[in-house]
Structure 1
Amino acid sequence: QAEVKQVLDIVIHSLYTDREIFVRELVSNAADALEKMRHTQLTENDVFDASKPLEINITTDETAGTLTISDTGIGMTRDELVENLGTIAHSGSKAFAAALKNAGKGGEAQLIGQFGVGFYSAFMVAAEVKVYTHSWRNEGEHLCWVSDGAGSYTIDEAPGQSRGSRIVIELKEDAKEFAKTSRLREILSRYSNFVSFPILLNGDRVNTVEALWLKSKEDISEEQYEEFYKFASHSFDKPTYRLHFQSEVPLSINALLFLPSENMELLGMGQMEPGVALYCKKVLIDPHPHKLLPEWMRFVRGVIDSEDLPLNISRESMQDSALVRKLGDVVAKRLLKFLDKESLEDAEKYRAFYQKFSRFLKEGVATDFDNRNAVAKLLRFQSSLTEGDEAISLPDYVGRMKEGQETIYYQVAPSRSSIESGPYVEGFKARGIEVLYLYEAIDEYVVSSLREFDGKQLQAVNSDQVDIGEDATDGEALSESDATALCEWMKEKLSSEVASVRVGKRLVSSPALALTPMGEMTPQMRQMLRAMNKDEVDAVKVILEINPRHEIVRKLAAQRETNPEAAQLIASQVLDNALLSAGLLDDPQRMVARTQEIMQALLSKL
């Protein structure tokens, strides 16, 4: 009860200015109940009030100040009343409150339908709500649920109920407008015009039940498209993209798809349900088919209608239907081709979309093997050659690779500054080789899943397998023999943390860099695992590459014989600096004592 009360308070006080949406929510619930009833009638013969037509009836009474919304749907048993109306069935009030906070101004109304609390929106306008119901089962009880929205409710027997549910709302004094026929007609035309069952308002049919997706694009206005999007997605935003197409080959398909402007998962909503409903000849098969489109496309909203599907296909058998998989595959490929075209025609519009929905695309690269390359074309990254917010695609990168370059280079790090202040890209910059900058943790999975694009291997610049040719810099350097001797000495002195020390060709202005040996976890993977369970991530011995032209390295080579103690300090500091840049320094505190020792040694010479 306390949880219900908290949600009621949130709904009532946060959505007061949008309170007319309670009509949309109750009508939507009624349509869901009718849809379940339609499916039940396909498999059950023994149905209560079997002759009742599937429809929604709404009546207003200005004199009594009441609004009644009835459906001839599946109805509820006593247990279902308790589960559906007595508790928050799918999410707790804390989660709802958190999502509401993240939604910000203007986003609240969108959360209502998405969070499974639509029924409670009635209490924005109700002094009292009564729900009369009888289950579709003949043995079901005649029941009445009553609540004033204070957090408690009663359930009593109420003889004489028809199949379905009848919600009687006693309106608050400041909500009497919702007992006016004209006001209800206005709300229904705005929110519920495309409900696929008849809606009667005081006996008159008010919805068109129009299958917009079957009409020609030329016969549909922008306003109709927007209305349908808001109805289909339970949203108030405008879609960023719309794809409406008909096809007869290889399957009969009528599809109307929308890509939203708001990502509800970013607002703390948890994982979305699939949002493209599946129809056959205007008959709804499944409002949220999980096996139709790839899982990562769950943000897409709209309708797919195919005459090739059997009308009696059940939601259960649909999960294993090869025909449904083929249908989804055709639509997914069409959508990806459309999005690629749109991204090239209006880069700025696509950039705004990508900022909010990039994680879905990256999830697609990591999980959708069949469409991996097509999704990869839609990714955008900053690079060593871009400025500001500019980002490029993988085809852009491949198109401007240097002659003879066969590898796409990248680095995963938290920010541009952390990449460019580190040692790994300096050799590439000196040679004019572009490096992609990847800033998100998920990018590690993306590149490991993709591996190659357009025949070019993807390789991290901090991989120990990188070979970018001979040194690109001039200047005094250690001789080959001196460099080899220094590498052997450093390997001996740093043996507890270093697997090998070698001369590196990719360094320009840094004295050294650290690499994880092939087969070991990347630094980013180690950091993620360490954040989850620090004790289970073992230390790794690194490969240390030194720059034979750097002054520190050249002087270290001389000092190791004339001043071995100082040389040991400097060698350890060079290693720790390299580990720090690599994100592999597990204990930064150890640098403090050594830095103080180095400073004291310097000061003693002043």
Structure 2
Amino acid sequence: MLRSLARTALSAKTRLTASVPAPVARTYRSTALASTVVPVSHKARGTAYNSIRSFATETGAADQNEKEEKIIGESKKKAFQAETRKLLDIVTHSLYSEKEVFVRELVSNASDALEKLRHSQLTDSSLDTGKPLEIHISVDEAKGTFTIQDYGIGMTEDEAISNLGTIARSGSKAFLEGLKEDGTTGSTKDRIIGQFGVGFYSAFMVGSEIKVYTRSSKPESKGYCWTSDGSGSYEIAEAENVAVGTKIVITLRDECKEYAKEAVVETIIKKYSNFVDYPVLLNNKKINAVQPLWTKDKNDISEQDHIEFYRYVAGAWDSPQYKLVYKTDSPLAISSLLYIPQRHMEVLGMQREEPGVSLYSRKVMIQAKSKALLPEWLRFVKGVVDCEDLPLNVSRELLQDQSLSKLRQVLTGRVVKWLESEAKSDPKAYNQFFEEFGNFIKEGACTESDSNRPNVAKLLRYESSAGAPGEVFSLKDYVDRMKEGQENIYYTCVPKRKFAEESPYFEEFKEKGIEVLFLYDTVDEFVVNNLRQVGQNKLVSIDASEISDPVLQSSSKKDSKDAIPSEEELLSQQEAKLAAEDIAEWFRQTLGMRIRKVDVSKRHMSYPAVVTEHDSPAVRKMMAMMSGAAKVGESDLPPTPTNLEINVNHPIIQKVWAVKSENPEFAKQIAEQIYDNALIAAGVLDDPRSMLKRLNTIMEASLSSPATSKSKDTVMQPKKIEVVEGEKV
């Protein structure tokens, strides 16, 4: 009966391989359908893989060893070569930050063994394990064991002694070096993961005893059992019933029994080894079903592939609004797949976004959500970066030399260019992106290095007096529209557009047709202070005390600029100037320490006064927080003295000057109110309620005070001062 079943299975297997071309038949025999030998879609590949695996299970081809491995030869005890027990203790107990990485290291080694076999089979058809190119992991909670098996290249006795008996010797590295000498590396270089030879010893972090059963894929090779408890020596002996490849059985320590739980191990595999080139099966269930899309050509990745992969790496349910497939060989070999979501988590004060890009090396995760790959302001970007030749330390957890800095620099520059390209190709879509993620870009403009800050500035968008409400422009748009001879880029920081358009500082710019950017967010002030200029054009606030720009300069008398003033006119001007100085001096004495100085304004405005050289609202908020004045129950932060510019031709200024002699207290209240009004116009009066009592007194006096009524007939009109042409009164 058994012979009949065997003949039936053999006949079925023969018919299957005979019905397909020879290369595919060879592929089946080594199950290289799981590799890149046959270039089919991952869905088709998965279907073929499942069908073949189902058939193989029925015929017994995918079964593990029917008989348990058994030592039959004399056990030879050996010491680890060239290293001490202390060094072994460091490698196995101090090198790795997390014990769970032993799974990653063993899976990586198994993947390398399978790749070595696949490559060797290209030139030597006799190397055939008769097993699929897979990695099998099994856990047993009752026994407290973790077992991993591959049907790869395997090892001879000498290779086992050399590779396992010498700490930090990498068989994978030696394999690659041999390929380089032959000039036949091909794609194998990109698929070999191990570099340092210490990954195997990570198993001693969790295991009290480790058994390694191995048999070389070379014909007529014997099987061997390598055993060690990590104390500084090991034993090796010939064994029977050993499958071609390598099987590692770890007896877990009592405190590490969690690694005998299937759910725990599955999570670790998906975290670190989800993208290795070969199927990973845990208790006969395939775990790594997600394809490493970043290894494909961008034209071979469908929109649905992007959506599924984005949701996997970002843990999201939406679809990405932007995607970037970026590959380069210089200055580092980088393959990356990056996405930008539709929304972010920091809206409405929700939790701060965590970095969203993970670092891989040869499809094995090195750092999840790495903080080192991109600057913090790009934390909204999601995806994967795989750097093949990134120099890591022996634990594959830390980066060496300056490569991380170089990688960060390259990626940051590429992401900025990516966003700039998206802005040019579809401005409307980019403006919607900026509305959602603009604060991140502004953060970048404040924190980036001087060399990269101008590039980030290209991504900024602001409303402007040249556009309609809601319409935004880049700084380049502003520069392209500048008036002939204009030297500066002008802006104003206000909460709303209405406040900007009604500002006394804006009047002159509006009438002269000079564009002004409207900056609504608190962070915008820090942005312009960090940028300082765009190209050769300085960023200047319209409330600056001194603005030197040819477009704002005009003659005092346009129609008679060449006329020579008469002696009487000169005398009148001199008297008016002296009168203006007297008014300024009176304001200076009246307002006292609240101001630094009082100047006669030359601005073209309809307001009685403005303040300059004042702290911005954003700066005052920060100062209040730092001083503790913002705490409940404490007084407000004292206002910082400012400069006051008075419009001496304004009726209010002239009347307060006239009434000061008859009612000095009332005139003082008017002067204080003028100053507070100027602070309000500048947006720097912390609490307007402080002036309500005074304002009520002024209104009451203006309606009923005899002194005020009398002043109507006795107002002294100072002579008008010649100022900049067109000044409002």
* TM-score band w.r.t. shorter chain: 0.5 to 0.7
Is the counterpart of residue 527 in structure 1 residue 610 in structure 2? no
Partner of 2:291, secondary structure, is coil
The question of whether the paired residues in 2 share the 8 Å contact of 1:281 and 1:305 is answered with: yes
Shift of 1:328: 2.0
Note the C-alpha offset of 1:372: 0.9
Tell me the amino acid that sits aligned with residue 600 of structure 2: V
In structure 1, give the amino acid aligned to 2:596.
Answer: A
Q: How far is the alpha carbon of 1:315 from its aligned partner? A: 6.0
Alpha-carbon contact 2:136-2:284 (below 8 Å) kept? no
Tell me: CA distance 1:315–1:523, structure 2 relative to 1, closer, same or farther (3 Å).
Answer: farther
Q: Which residue of 1 aligns with 2:605?
A: 508
Structure 2 CA distance, aligned partners of 1:574 and 1:523?
19
1:137 is aligned, of 206, 215, 220, to 206
Q: How far apart, in 2, do the equivalents of 1:598 and 1:267 lie? A: 42
Q: How does 1:168-317 map to 2 (within 5 A)?
A: 195-196=274-275, 198=279, 200=281, 203=284, 205=286, 207-266=288-347, 268-310=349-391, 314=395, 317=398
- In the other structure, the counterpart of 1:595 is 695
- The equivalent of 1:80 in structure 2 is none
* 1:197-247 residue CA offsets vs partner (Å, 9 max, x unmatched): 645487353644522111111111110111111111111111111111222
Distance 2:259 2:509 in 1: 73
Q: Is residue 322–residue 339 contact of structure 2 (8 Å, CA) maintained in 1?
A: yes
Contact 2:610/2:646 (<8 A) preserved: yes
Which SS does the other structure have where 2:688 is aligned?
coil
Between stretches 221-230 and 280-289, larger displacement belongs to 280-289
Q: In structure 1, what residue type is equivalent to 2:543?
A: N
Task: Quote the offset at 1:589 in angstroms.
Answer: 3.7
Q: Is the contact made by 2:332 and 2:390 (CA closer than 8 Å) also made in structure 1? A: no
2:116 corresponds to 1:37: no
Aligned to 1:414: 495
Deviations 1:377-425 (A, max 9, x none): 1011112222121111111111112222222222222222233333222
The aligned counterpart of 2:592 is 495
Deviation at 1:563, TM superposition (A): 5.2
Residue 537 of structure 1: how far off its partner (Å): 3.5
Cα distance in 1 for partners of 2:326, 2:416 equals 14
Q: In 1, Cα distance between the equivalents of 2:254 and 2:392?
A: 37
Deviations 1:143-192 (A, max 9, x none): xxxxxxxxxxxxxx999968342349xxxxxxxxxxxxxxxxxxxxxx99
Alignment partners' CA distance in 1, 2:458 and 2:256: 62
Counterpart residue identity of residue 674, structure 2:
V
1:491 and 1:570 map into 2 onto residues whose CA distance is 14
Match of 1:163 in 2: 259
1:267 Cα deviation (Å)? 5.7
CA distance in 1, matches of 2:679, 2:147: 65
Question: Helix, strand or coil for the counterpart of 1:264?
Answer: coil
For the pair 1:579 / 2:679, whether they are aligned, the reply is: yes
Partner Cα separation in structure 2 for residue 516 and residue 160 of structure 1? 66
1:246 touches 1:255 (CA, 8 Å); kept in 2? yes
SS at match of 1:317: coil
Deviation at 1:430, TM superposition (A): 2.1
Q: 8 Å contact 1:296–1:360 — kept in the other structure?
A: yes
**1:248-292 deviation digits (Å, cap 9, x = unpaired):** 222222121111111122265533332112222222222222222
CA gap of 1:164–1:538, structure 2 versus 1, over 3 A, is farther
Report the secondary structure of 1:544's partner residue. Answer: strand
Q: In 2 relative to 1, CA 472–280 (structure 1 residues): closer, same or farther, beyond 3 Å?
A: farther
Contact 1:292 1:328 in 2 (8 A): yes
Give the structure 2 partner of residue 457 of structure 1: 538
Give the whole-Å Cα distance in 2 for the aligned partners of 1:481 and 1:323: 69
Matched, 1:344 2:421: no
Q: 1:545 to 1:474 in 2, by over 3 A?
A: farther
Q: Does the C-alpha gap of structure 1 residues 554 and 135 become closer, same or farther in structure 2, counting only changes over 3 Å?
A: farther
Alpha-carbon separation, structure 1, partners of 2:603 and 2:147:
70
1:332 maps onto 2:397 in alignment: no
> Which secondary structure state, in structure 2, belongs to the residue aligned with residue 494 of structure 1?
helix
Matched, 1:480 2:577: yes
Q: Give the Cα separation in 2 of the matches to 1:502 and 1:73.
A: 85
Q: Percent identity?
A: 39
Describe the SS at the equivalent of 2:472.
coil
Give, as a single letter, the amino acid of the residue that structure 2 aligns with 1:552.
I
Contact 1:73 1:164 (C-alpha < 8 Å) held by counterparts: no
1:415-465 per-position Cα deviation (integer Å, ceiling 9, x unaligned): 222333332222222222222111222222212221111122222222333
Deviation at 1:578, TM superposition (A): 0.7
Give a deviation string over 1:581-605, Cα, whole Å, max 9, x none. 2233345344222222222223227
Change (3 A) 1:589 1:559: same
Give the Cα separation in 2 of the matches to 1:466 and 1:56.
73
Distance 1:280 1:590, change over 3 A: closer
Give the conservation status (yes or no) of the 8 Å contact 1:54–1:73. no
For residues 34 and 275 of structure 1, the distance between their equivalents in structure 2, rounded to whole angstroms, comes to: 24
Against the structure 1 CA distance between its residues 492 and 350, is the aligned structure 2 distance closer, same or farther, given a 3 Å change threshold?
same
Instruction: Give the partner amino acid of 1:137.
Output: V
Q: Displacement, 1:301?
A: 0.9
Opposite residue 350 of structure 1, the aligned amino acid is Y
Change (3 A) 1:592 1:541: same
Change in Cα spacing, 1:592 to 1:162, as seen in structure 2 (3 Å) is closer
Partner amino acid, structure 2, of 1:231: Y
1:427, 1:472 within 8 Å by CA — same for their partners in 2? no
1:378 to 442, 459, 472: 459
Q: Offset at 1:560?
A: 3.8
Matched position secondary structure for 2:538 = strand
Q: Is the 8 A contact 2:344 2:353 kept in 1?
A: no
Once residues 536 and 382 of structure 1 are traced to their aligned partners in structure 2, the CA distance between those partners, rounded to angstroms, is 33
TM-score (norm 2): 0.56
Q: 2:373·2:411 contact (CA, 8 Å) conserved in 1?
A: no
Contact kept in structure 2, 1:380 and 1:391, CA below 8 Å: yes
The aligned amino acid for 1:293 is L
Q: Taking structure 1 as reference, are residues 563 and 338 closer, same or farther at Cα in structure 2, changes over 3 Å only?
A: same
Residue aligned with 2:584, SS:
helix
Q: Deviations over 1:292-343 (max 9, x none)?
A: 221211111111122221365656532x641122122112111111211111
Q: Distance in 1 between matches of 2:599 and 2:135?
A: 78
- State the shift of 1:571 in Å: 1.6
Query: Against the structure 1 CA distance between its residues 529 and 220, is the aligned structure 2 distance closer, same or farther, given a 3 Å change threshold?
Result: same
TM-score (norm 1): 0.66
Query: Do 1:507 and 1:547's aligned partners in 2 also have CA atoms closer than 8 Å?
Result: no
How far, CA to CA, are the matches of 1:54 and 1:510 in structure 2? 81
CA positional deviation for 1:40: 6.2
SS at 1:325 equivalent? helix
